[in-house]
A and B are shown apart, each in its own frame.
Chain A
Amino acid sequence: MKKSMAVGKTIFVLLVIFAFLGVFGNTPFSLAQSKVVKVGNIEPLSGPSASVGQQGKCARDLAVEEINAAGGIKSLGGAKIEMVYADSESKPDKGVAEAERLINTEKVNVLTGCWNSAVTYPTTAVAERYGIPFIVPVSVADKITEQGFKTVFRIAAKDGWWTRDQFAFLKDMAKETNTKLETVAFVYENGDWGKGFAEQWKKLAEQAGLKVVLDEPYPSTATDLSPVVQKIKRANPDVLLLVSNAADAILLTNTLAEYKVKPKAIIGSGGGHADPSFLSASGKNAQYMFDIVEWETDVGKPGVPAFNEKFKAKCGYNPAGESVDAYIAMHVMADALERAGSLDPKAIRDALAVTKLSSGPAMIASYDAVEFDQTGQNKNAALVIVQINDIGKGFERLSVWPKGARHAGYTPVFPAPQQ
């Protein structure tokens, strides 16, 4: 009895302390401090996609350091940007709960996130309900900007463009190298992202006159992918199209090599294939694979080499397309805040809607300006296709398509040698 009373007492004391913290955190006291813009970021910081989540965090922090060092948001009296991170663990329900918390408890002015399309999709609905602007750097599922929402803005190209360019690339390469391609196989993670890609591939394959010999979703949490690889081997496709998260991308690539499955072309869809640890963990097994990305370290824009260096010094690895989107997102946000001159969510939203950012650090992008269409989609986002190969400096990602962006002096290996 005595013991339980003591426990009760402790809980009471803790509650009182929390109540005080809560009260002092939110009332006039905080107004005395200089103005800050609070930005809530929902990312998979732990769990199966922790790697990309941490990259996104590092890229955002880099951009925010630059913005704050340059004097913050001048139209708001030099207000500094304060980042609040929340962990989605790649779970949709967690993302929704964190969005509610960030808006109601942390009182954030802007939200960004969530990398996983399956998390971003329900989470943007929360932001829309409260009218808080939501910048999506990378979740590519088409439907995210097709919900008729007013507050959602996406930096990355949407998946309809990714799949379109994958097939355009196949067509161009088949013509350039005089290769006959007849069959295609789709293997993709069983989430919103993978299924969205597969639906569009089906239509595109039909238009391109390619026969679909395998259409196989697999669970991203698989611990053994040899059954799937066996299916690919038996279907014997000319072209293998993949959508994978990082752990399964590595497992799949290594298992494909073990079973000596060698289609004429394997094309990834960013995500796991673009993860910096993909190259180190699959090494030679990834040779000749293609991947589609928005950005590569060899993009020919003036600020890129300096950015690469700064990024590598801060984060310890090379920037990937998705980190660059996160970096750009922060500068787009700062630009909109500057023009809005207010922390009213509606003013920020309206400023974002008329964004036309064509200069400044964000323009390491491969395109010329960030502009949103009426659905909130960045209409200029463009894509490049890279090939993984070793041209004397270890395995790296070399731009091959569109032809104008091709890595100087590199001829893509297409089809992959059958040894």
Chain B
Amino acid sequence: MLYVLEDAINGILMGSIYGLTALGLTVIFGVLKVINFAHGSLLMVGMYAAYWAVALTGIHPYLALIIVAPAMYFFGYYMQDIIIKPIFKAEKDVREPITVIIVTTGVWYILDNLSLLIFGPQYRNLPDNPLRGKMIELGGMMLSVPKIWGFVTAIITAGAVYWFFQKTRMGRAIRATSLDRESASLMGINQYRIYNVAFGIGTAIAGIAGVTLVPFNNVYPSVGVLFDIKGFIIVVLGGLGSIGGAILGGIIVGVIESVGPQFMAATWTEAIVYALFLVVLFVKPSGLFGVKYDW
């Protein structure tokens, strides 16, 4: 029983981090109505940014947030502005522009291969730091300290993003654009600037997720792909566009992955996650926590 509890807690901790990696994906989809296939690569860029920020200065890994989150925001902002916006303009009559999806796939390939060229194929792991390998023992259970930090960060980030969308003027403008971009434009909202901001926020969240992963995971050029696939499953489980849904979807996947292996081979848990994904698509295509209508 203690084992199951221990595994469930580990699943919740790790799952909230999965949720955080998927959160940026869901934010970008919610506003742009476009699946961003480059999201894993943005996460990879965030991980490298966090890795270098910590490895070069030797600061506490979470202090890197001060540098990584704003840097990633501007990276996403200008990537959308320079690369994706022109495609949007060319396809402005379509509600869900397919071409943009293809462009994000191109961005994914370019970013992954650029990092392969620049950083090489090596696997990198942070040198000793205040979080690496730290565990706390709690009544016979062992819990990973960096994952607890990740859990707290995920909850705070999701809360902050929710608050931002509900309460601020910019947040309301973003929601208005996401509901109906034509009307929003007629009300004087600059649709493309909103897209830039939303993409920037999504990328900044990927950067935050990168910071939470770096203390206990390797960094290498194709690391994003692993989290990317998981991210897609999580956002569909939780409901595309739903902020709470992304975190809860992540926790569901995390718990299955963590508790499952105690009863079967670890490879089977992947099958269970995918099966659940299919069932959700059949029974409730809007996702477990998604709403029928956008925001």
Contacts and interface: CB of A to CB of B under 8 A. Distances in A.
Given A51-B123, A227-B260, A275-B123, A219 B133 contact: no
Interface in A219-268: 219, 221-224, 226-228, 230-231, 234, 246-247, 250-251, 254, 257-260
Interface stretch (A277-285, A318-326, A369-377): A277-285
B291 to A, nearest CB: 29
Given A218-B267, A247-B123, A281-B125, A231 B262 contact: yes
Interface string B255-266: 001111110011
B230 to A, nearest CB: 7
Contact of A257 (B112, B133, B260, B261): B133
B10 A226 contact: yes
Given A46-B112, A250-B218, A223 B230 contact: yes
A51 B121 contact: yes
B105 interface: no
Contact count band on A: 35 or more
A47 interface: yes
Majority SS of interface residues in chain A? helix
Interface stretch (B70-78, B168-176, B221-229, B281-289): B221-229
A53 interface: yes
Nearest to A225: B266
A370 B11 CA distance: 50
A83 interface: no
B6 A254 contact: no
Nearest to B216: A254
A122 interface: no
A354 interface: no
Contacts of B259: 227
A131 interface: no
Contacts of B14: 223-224, 226
Contacts of B276: none
B124 A231 contact: no
A122 B120 CA distance: 29
Contacts of A278: 123
A67 B235 CA distance: 54
B261 A219 contact: no
B44 to A, nearest CB: 13
B261 A254 contact: no
Nearest to A282: B125
Contacts of A287: none
B157 interface: no
B275 interface: no
A216 B266 contact: yes
Given A230-B3, A254-B133, A219 B218 contact: no
Given A250-B125, A277-B123, A281-B124, A223 B227 contact: yes
Nearest to A51: B121
Nearest to B112: A46
Interface residues of B, number: 46
Interface in A276-309: 276-278, 280-283, 285
A47 B223 CA distance: 9
A78 interface: no
Contacts of A275: 123
A259 B135 contact: yes
Contacts of A53: 121
B116 interface: yes
A200 interface: no
A46 B144 contact: no
A257 B265 CA distance: 22
Interface in B236-295: 254, 257-262, 265-267, 269-270
A217 B133 CA distance: 24
Contacts of B269: 227
Contacts of A380: none
B140 to A, nearest CB: 12
A278 B127 CA distance: 13
Contacts of B226: 221-223
Contacts of A212: none
28 contacts: A46-B222, A48-B222, A50-B116, A50-B220, A190-B267, A216-B266, A217-B267, A218-B267, A219-B270, A222-B226, A223-B230, A227-B11, A227-B261, A228-B261, A230-B6, A230-B261, A231-B262, A231-B266, A234-B3, A246-B123, A250-B123, A254-B133, A257-B133, A258-B135, A259-B135, A260-B142, A281-B125, A281-B218
Interface of A: 46-48, 50-51, 53-54, 190, 216-219, 221-224, 226-228, 230-231, 234, 246-247, 250-251, 254, 257-260, 275-278, 280-283, 285
Q: Which 4 A-B pairs have the closest CB atoms?
A: A281-B125, A50-B121, A51-B121, A227-B261
Given A230-B7, A258-B142, A260-B142, 9 more contacts: A46-B112, A46-B222, A47-B225, A50-B116, A53-B121, A223-B227, A227-B10, A230-B262, A276-B122
Interface of B: 3, 6-7, 10-11, 14, 18, 112-113, 116, 120-125, 127, 133-135, 142, 144, 216-218, 220-223, 225-227, 229-230, 254, 257-262, 265-267, 269-270
